[in-house]
């Protein structure tokens, strides 16, 4: 079998294919998006029977995958780290279930917030749920670990969390494929007590899970994914790495004269015995970990106070952002290499911005114009390209919390007495978790203008098809109970500025919920169509 | 042998395809490759950085330490200087000449050129003219690869084969334009 050049994300996809998955569900989110995209390409070219679908949000994706497992088949669910907040209810409550077909949740964290609103660490979710977490160091391991995760899911009857980070998700290297497993046949579980969360059943399931914890720790202690190398000559220092910090450490280690003992942790729950074995000779342990100081805090609980623990909690390692080779070198006391010349201090930044010809620019122009006459308008916004409306020259939005929050926050602001209040949300995000907020505000009869920026695509994450065709959004809005008189559709183009401004103004004056759909396709769709001709 | 490259430019300028073609060439010569990219929000007209590591041995890290890159390859002048801390002493700085203007406070070009020229092994390439001479404005990144190929540890023939592979599905004309762009860049 020929070698493949794959992104870390794609290595997960290939691992899932070779582990014999039947179905993959996900919601797009940087840096996880390429997992499903690769599977969709695989479906087109290699295996029409594979299902690889975007869902309306992470929760629906995860729940559907649980049922695939219940039916005896293997399934993969993908999302970004904050997506797991949305799917958390389903994830946490599926842990007591007796997983039938392998169920693996691939979550991509974004330390450094390259394309996210926080850098939460998904290892905590695995811990919280009391299941296994695995974190690959490179693309080959991402491939192999995914296969192992499916195996473990079926032998332990647990959903397994596979944690990625931006840097491995979006880095390419050669991957060698290994043995391929067949897909599983439909074989529904008949044990309905395994799949029902009623308190009396949940108590039993939780007890099983509790008894299982020692088994998970034993697997972790013996796992090759947690390699421990003891250098008995160094009685001063020991090093623990997690995630990609392993790679940075391995390159820096060559320059260390007296090599410290080293434990790398890729498999959780924590291998406590290995940690003790590492630390027993050392006076000081440096923890270089990607994400939160998760291992570091655990160390504080199990190591004697005499052992100094260096990491994020005492600022040996920066607490914010991605680990990189230089952070690793500094922590080890190695000099940073001298550059060809000193950096130039006063270079202007170049933040991301809306593309030339973007329909959102025209929507924001009209909105700003319509709000000109008010001293304190409130514009709640949401997650998508249009969050860039925060920057000049737009300066158009006052908030962005999480997916769908523009709608619910608009309701809250209006009910608190603000006017005018405009919620701004994209079509994809509206389908994700915006609808519920609209139902709320319609039932309360708030004075809110909801502006749905419909560009017919999930653009920010790289042009994924939205879950429903844009033409149906107006029907959905009507179906939620919006007054058809106050559902307006406009086309955001420079030549329509006056007309669009007037429409928005008119609806702001309306004492109730009005919905304006500002519809023009993303310029990248237009470009793609024109280049195909 | 290890050769580390920092590639940069503005989202939409073709930095990722720049990295992909050099990586392809390296792999055709059976070298190990690691290529880290940026996707998502920063691709929207913002500063973009990618790293490419080429080696005859196994590579661990996807990222390059400061002061350790053998080359900075940039689509435009401002971005070439943004990441100068990565360039090692004796490393090459190669950049396209034309500024990409999408910010209000873009520095004076002559000042940028002066800073770039202060780096001993630097080249400022008129990618636009050379790409147009080759037959397409869109071949600017291939011109840049051509210029970089004078220093990179990959053979000229390998690059031409890599370009052929990458563009073959777009037709013979496009392949020829890009080969020509590569050779013009190499001559510059």
Q: Are residues A251 and A386 in the same domain?
A: no
Residue A89 touches partner B, C-beta closer than 8 Å: no
Strand order in the sheet with B87-96: A4-7, A171-175, B32-36, B47-55, B2-10, B69-74, B87-96, B121-125
Nearest to A173 among B34, B68, B102 (CB): B34
Q: Please answer whether residues B101 and A322 qualify as being in contact, where contact means their C-beta atoms are separated by less than 8 angstroms.
A: no
Backbone angles phi and psi of A511, in degrees to 5 = -90, 70
Q: Are residues A58 and A12 in the same domain?
A: yes
Q: Are residues A13 and A151 in the same domain?
A: yes
Number of A:B CB contacts under 8 A? 154
CATH number at residue A476: 3.40.50.970
Q: What is the CA angle A33-A38-A44, rounded to 5?
A: 130
- Give the distance from residue A369's alpha carbon to the nearest chain B alpha carbon, in angstroms: 22
Give the pLDDT band of residue A389 (cuts 50, 70, 90): very high
The domain spans of chain B are 2-187
Average pLDDT over residues A234-245: 97
Token pair recorded at residue A20: 């014999």
The yes-or-no verdict on residue A492 having pLDDT over 90 is yes
Nearest to B61 among A247, A341, A349 (CB): A247
Least confident of A446-460, B51-65, B71-85: A446-460
The pLDDT of residue A463 is: 80
Label residue A151 exposed, middle or buried (CB < 10 Å: 0-12, 13-18, 19+): middle
Which of A287, A315, A331 is where one domain is finished?
Answer: A331
Pairwise CB contact (< 8 Å): A115 & B11: no
Q: Are residues A96 and A143 in the same domain?
A: yes
Q: Are residues A123 and A15 in the same domain?
A: yes
The yes-or-no verdict on residue A138 having pLDDT over 70 is yes
Number of domains in chain A: 3
Q: Are residues A176 and A295 in the same domain?
A: no
Q: Are residues A368 and A306 in the same domain?
A: no
Interface of A with B in 439-458 (CB under 8 A): none
At the fourth CATH level, the homologous superfamily of domain B2-187 is Pyruvate-ferredoxin oxidoreductase, PFOR, domain III (3.40.920.10)
Longest dimension (CA), chain A: 80
Average pLDDT over residues A170-180: 96
Average pLDDT over residues A98-118: 95
Q: What is the CA angle B121-B122-B124, rounded to 5?
A: 155
Q: Hey, what's the torsion of the CAs at A451, A457, A458, A462, to 10 degrees?
A: -140
A139-152 tens-digit pLDDT: 999 999 999 999 99
Distance CA A431, CA A359 (A): 19
Does residue A323 lie in a domain region?
A: yes
* CB < 8 Å to A360, chain B: none
Distance CA A95, CA A126 (A): 10
Pairwise CB contact (< 8 Å): A355 & B44: yes
pTM to 2 decimals?
Answer: 0.95
* Strand B47-55 to B32-36 pairing: antiparallel
A43-97 tens-digit pLDDT: 999 999 999 999 999 999 999 999 999 999 999 999 999 999 999 999 999 999 9
Average pLDDT over residues A195-215: 94
Token pair recorded at residue A71: 């039916």
The yes-or-no verdict on residue B44 having pLDDT over 90 is no
H or E element in which residue A426 lies? strand A421-426
Residue A364 belongs to domain spanning? 359-529
A416-441 tens-digit pLDDT: 999 999 999 999 999 999 999 999 99
Q: For A192-244, what is the HEC assignment? A: HHHHCCCHHHHHHHHHHHHHHHHHHHHHHHHCCCCCEECCCCCCCEEEEEECC
The pLDDT of residue A529 is: 81
B94-152 tens-digit pLDDT: 999 999 998 999 999 999 999 999 999 999 999 999 999 999 999 999 999 999 999 99
Does residue A353 lie in a domain region?
A: no
- Give the distance from residue A183's alpha carbon to the nearest chain B alpha carbon, in angstroms: 32
DSSP H helices, A57-175, are 58-70, 81-94, 123-129, 139-156, 166-169
The pLDDT of residue A458 is: 81
Q: Are residues A500 and A373 in the same domain?
A: yes
Does residue A349 lie in a domain region?
A: no
Q: Are residues A171 and A47 in the same domain?
A: yes
3-state secondary structure of A158: coil
Q: Which residues pair with B88 in a beta bridge?
A: A339
Q: Are residues A206 and A99 in the same domain?
A: yes
Among chain A residues, CA nearest to B103: A350
Distance CA A164, CA B79 (A): 29
Q: Please answer whether residues A370 and A377 qualify as being in contact, where contact means their C-beta atoms are separated by less than 8 angstroms.
A: no
The pLDDT of residue A3 is: 85
Residue A5 touches partner B, C-beta closer than 8 Å: yes
3-state secondary structure of A317: coil
Cβ count within 10 A of residue B1: 8
Q: What is the CA angle B19-B24-B28, rounded to 5?
A: 150
C-alpha distance across the termini of chain A, in Å: 36
Which of A81, A175, A329, A340 is most worth mutating to test chain B (most B CB atoms within 10 A of its CB)?
A: A340
Q: Are residues A206 and A323 in the same domain?
A: no
Pairwise CB contact (< 8 Å): A337 & B34: no
* Strand A228-229 to A261-265 pairing: antiparallel
Q: What is the CA angle B124-B95-B29, rounded to 5?
A: 115
Among chain B residues, CA nearest to A340: B89
CATH number at residue A268: 3.40.50.920
């Amino acid at each position: 079998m020929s070698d493949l050049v794959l992104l870390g994300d794609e290595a997960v996809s290939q691992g899932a294919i070779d582990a014999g998955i039947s179905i993959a569900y996900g919601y797009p989110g940087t840096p996880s998006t390429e997992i499903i995209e690769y599977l969709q390409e695989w479906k087109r070219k290699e295996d029409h029977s594979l299902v690889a679908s975007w869902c309306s949000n992470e929760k629906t994706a995860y729940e559907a995958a649980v049922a695939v497992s219940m039916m005896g088949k293997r399934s993969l669910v993908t999302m970004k780290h904050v997506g797991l907040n949305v799917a958390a209810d389903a994830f946490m409550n599926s842990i007591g279930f007796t997983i039938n077909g392998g169920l693996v949740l691939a979550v991509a964290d974004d330390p450094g917030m390259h394309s996210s609103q926080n850098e939460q660490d998904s290892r905590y979710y695995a811990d919280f749920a009391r299941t296994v977490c695995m974190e690959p160091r490179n693309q080959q391991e991402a491939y192999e670990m995914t296969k192992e995760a499916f195996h473990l899911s079926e032998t332990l009857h647990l959903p397994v969390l596979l944690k990625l980070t931006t840097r491995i998700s979006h880095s390419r290297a050669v991957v060698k494929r290994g043995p391929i497993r067949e897909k599983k046949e439909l074989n529904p579980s008949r044990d309905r007590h395994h799949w029902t969360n009623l308190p009396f059943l949940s108590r039993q399931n939780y007890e099983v899970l509790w008894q299982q914890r020692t088994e998970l720790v034993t697997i972790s202690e013996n796992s090759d994914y947690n390699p421990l190398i003891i250098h008995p000559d160094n009685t001063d220092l020991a090093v623990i790495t997690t995630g990609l910090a392993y790679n940075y450490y391995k390159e820096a280690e060559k320059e260390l004269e007296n090599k410290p003992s080293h434990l790398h942790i890729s498999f959780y729950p924590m291998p406590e015995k290995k940690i003790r074995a590492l630390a027993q000779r050392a006076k000081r342990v440096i923890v270089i970990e990607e994400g939160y100081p998760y291992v570091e805090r655990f160390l504080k609980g199990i190591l004697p106070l005499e052992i100094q623990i260096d990491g994020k909690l005492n600022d040996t390692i920066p607490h914010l952002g991605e680990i990189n080779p230089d952070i690793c070198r500094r922590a080890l006391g190695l000099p940073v290499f001298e550059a060809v010349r000193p950096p130039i201090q006063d270079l202007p930044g170049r933040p991301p911005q809306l593309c030339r010809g973007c329909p959102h620019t025209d929507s924001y122009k009209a909105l700003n114009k319509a709000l000109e006459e008010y001293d304190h308008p409130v514009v709640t916004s949401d997650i998508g390209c249009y969050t860039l409306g925060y920057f000049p020259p737009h300066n158009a939005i006052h908030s962005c919390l999480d997916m769908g929050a523009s709608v619910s926050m608009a309701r809250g602001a209006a009910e608190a007495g603000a006017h005018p209040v405009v919620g701004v949300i994209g079509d994809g995000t509206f389908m994700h978790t915006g609808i519920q907020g609209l139902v709320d505000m319609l039932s309360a009869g708030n004075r809110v203008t909801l502006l749905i920026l419909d560009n017919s695509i999930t653009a920010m994450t790289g042009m994924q098809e939205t879950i429903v065709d844009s033409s149906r959004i107006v029907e959905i809005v009507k179906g939620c109970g919006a007054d058809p008189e106050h559902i307006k559709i406009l086309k955001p183009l420079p030549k329509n500025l006056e007309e669009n401004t007037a429409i928005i103004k008119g609806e702001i004056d309306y004492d109730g919920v009005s919905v304006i759909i500002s519809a023009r396709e993303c310029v990248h769709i237009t470009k793609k169509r024109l280049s195909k001709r | 042998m290890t050769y580390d490259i920092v590639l940069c430019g503005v989202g939409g300028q073709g930095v990722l395809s720049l990295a992909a073609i050099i990586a392809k060439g390296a792999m055709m010569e059976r070298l190990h490759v690691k290529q880290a990219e940026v996707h998502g929000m920063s691709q929207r007209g913002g500063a973009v950085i990618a790293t490419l590591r080429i080696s005859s041995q196994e590579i661990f890290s996807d990222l390059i330490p400061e002061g350790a890159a053998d080359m900075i390859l940039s689509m435009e002048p401002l971005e070439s200087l943004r990441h100068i801390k990565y360039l090692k002493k004796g490393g090459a700085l190669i950049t396209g000449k034309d500024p990409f203007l999408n910010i209000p406070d873009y520095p004076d070009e002559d000042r940028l050129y002066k800073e770039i020229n202060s780096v001993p092994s630097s080249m400022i390439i008129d990618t636009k003219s050379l790409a147009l001479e080759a037959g397409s404005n869109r071949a600017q990144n291939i011109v840049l690869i051509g210029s970089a190929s004078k220093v990179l540890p990959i053979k000229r023939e390998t690059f031409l084969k890599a370009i052929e592979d990458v563009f073959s599905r777009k037709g013979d004309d496009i392949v020829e334009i890009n080969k020509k762009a590569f050779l013009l860049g190499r001559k510059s």
